[in-house]
Structure 1
Amino acid sequence: MKLITRGLLLFVLMLTATLLAVLMRPTFNIADEQSMSSLTDFIPQQFGDWQEVSTGLMQVGLTTNTADKGDDYPYDQVLSRTYKNSDNQTVMLTIAWGGKQRQEVKIHRPELCYAAQGFEIKKLKDTDFGIASTGNKVVTGKDMLAFNPKYIEAVSYWIRIGDIYSGNAWQTRLYIFKTGLEGVIPDGVLVRASSIINDEKNAESAYQLNKRFLQDLVKNVDSAKGRSFLIK
């Protein structure tokens, strides 16, 4: 009798857990509401003092997998360009968007991607981009210094998940969990600007160049919808 009771209790617990998992599964996808257009539709090739150029520079990939696209590839759209200004300064831009950010598949943090592709991460620090989001939040992210045998790259980036700017992986996981309880699947975007330097003493000036570039970009995005996409 006790075995039957225990078995029945276990069955009820398993059934309850299954029902809760189904009921709590997110069903509303922010990306569906946004009707996301192509990144090339609103990211200009020329803005302010910046003009897209062809340089042959290879940008670091967006995944921790050495293959171009693996099971961990979380992006629906990617835009990679190189821009130059009248002072002959060059900035590489990468924007990567994923419509469904989930615990198991979500935007990869650049420090992990760079390390996976042979870079040594020497510096990683919080930064403020001097940009106010459309929701009147301060856009925050990271400055990173990455070394490989051929060059040094000064990288500045932010990651937007839903309506927050994620500072670390745990913050991302907690936000995805909370929105999941509300039945919402958030979208996410990585905005990354980087400059190649020959001496790490030039890192701070390169970070400032990256930030001025991104500030100019946000000001000149072709639509309010595009700006909201980058800095919700």
Structure 2
Amino acid sequence: AYNNAQDGVLQVHRPEVCYPVGGFELSATQEIMLNASGQVVPANMFTATAPGRVEQVAYFTRLGSAYPRKWIEQRVAVMRANLAGDIPDGMMMRVSTLGIDQREARPLLAGFTTQFIESSNPRMQRLLLGQDSRG
């Protein structure tokens, strides 16, 4: 989450907010774990439904070295970093698939996420996973 003036206030737009604005109804968000480059990453997954479209969505958010799953956790991560004198960088990775149920989609999306991160160059891995990534 970057803009031209990093001020510690910038917000990551979470999919649970953006999808309903686009006309989707959402299932309850489930907490899942993803594995990437030897690192376990806390993530979220939900089903987004609109007329003629069913989308399975998984994503994770990184702020500094934290992986907040909820908006309040995101705010706390920013405040903690700011109190320590840091303005954390951030990244959200969202993956989705159409036309299958959540049970089928989970391993597909988890596998894609792992392969994407592990096949990325070290700079992209650091961007996605933070400075302590093994890439």
Query: Which residue of structure 2 lines up, in the alignment, with residue 106 of structure 1?
Result: 11
Q: Aligned to 1:102, what secondary structure does the other structure show?
A: coil
Once the two structures are superposed, residues 139-170 of structure 1 have per-residue CA deviations (whole angstroms, 9 ceiling, x without a partner) of 11101100001200000100001111111111
Note closer, same or farther for the CA distance 1:99–1:130 as it changes in structure 2 (3 Å cut). farther
**Residue 211 (structure 1) aligned with residue 110 (structure 2):** yes
TM-score relative to the length of structure 1? 0.52
- State yes or no: 1:226 paired with 2:124: yes
Label 1:177 to 1:221 Cα distance change in 2 as closer, same or farther (>3 A): same
2:113 maps to amino acid: L
Amino acid at match of 1:219: E
Q: Give percent identity, aligned residues only.
A: 25
Query: Matches of residues 48-67 of structure 1 in structure 2 within 5 Å?
Result: none
Which residue number in structure 2 is paired with residue 180 of structure 1? 82
| 1:143 counterpart SS class | strand
**TM-score (norm: length of structure 2):** 0.86
- Counterpart in the other structure of 1:130: 35
Cα separation, partners in 2 of 1:99 and 1:128, compared to 1, 3 Å:
farther
Deviation at 1:130, TM superposition (A): 2.2
Count of residue pairs brought into register by the alignment: 130
CA distance in 2, matches of 1:110, 1:122: 12
Q: CA RMSD in A?
A: 2.1
Alignment of 1:43-192 (within 5 A): 75-76=2-3, 100=6, 102-103=8-9, 105-131=10-36, 138-192=40-94
Partner-residue secondary structure (3-state), 1:123: coil
Task: Tell me which stretches of 4 or more aligned residues in structure 1 moved more than 6 Å.
Answer: none
Contact between 1:161 and 1:189, CA under 8 Å: does it hold in 2? yes
> Residue by residue, what CA displacement relative to the aligned partner does 1:21-73 show, whole Å, maximum 9, x if unpaired?
xxxxxxxxxxxxxxxxxxxxxxxxxxxxxxxxxxxxxxxxxxxxxxxxxxxxx
SS of the equivalent of 2:13 reads: coil
What is the CA deviation profile of residues 86-123 of structure 1, one whole-angstrom value per residue up to 9, with x for unaligned ones?
xxxxxxxxxxxx983734x3101111110111110023
Q: Which has the larger radius of gyration?
A: 1
Provide structure 2 residue ranges, at least 5 long, that are not aligned to the other structure: 131-135
Letter in 1 for 2:15: P
Matched residues in 2 for 1:204 and 1:101: separation?
Answer: 40
Opposite residue 226 of structure 1, the aligned amino acid is M
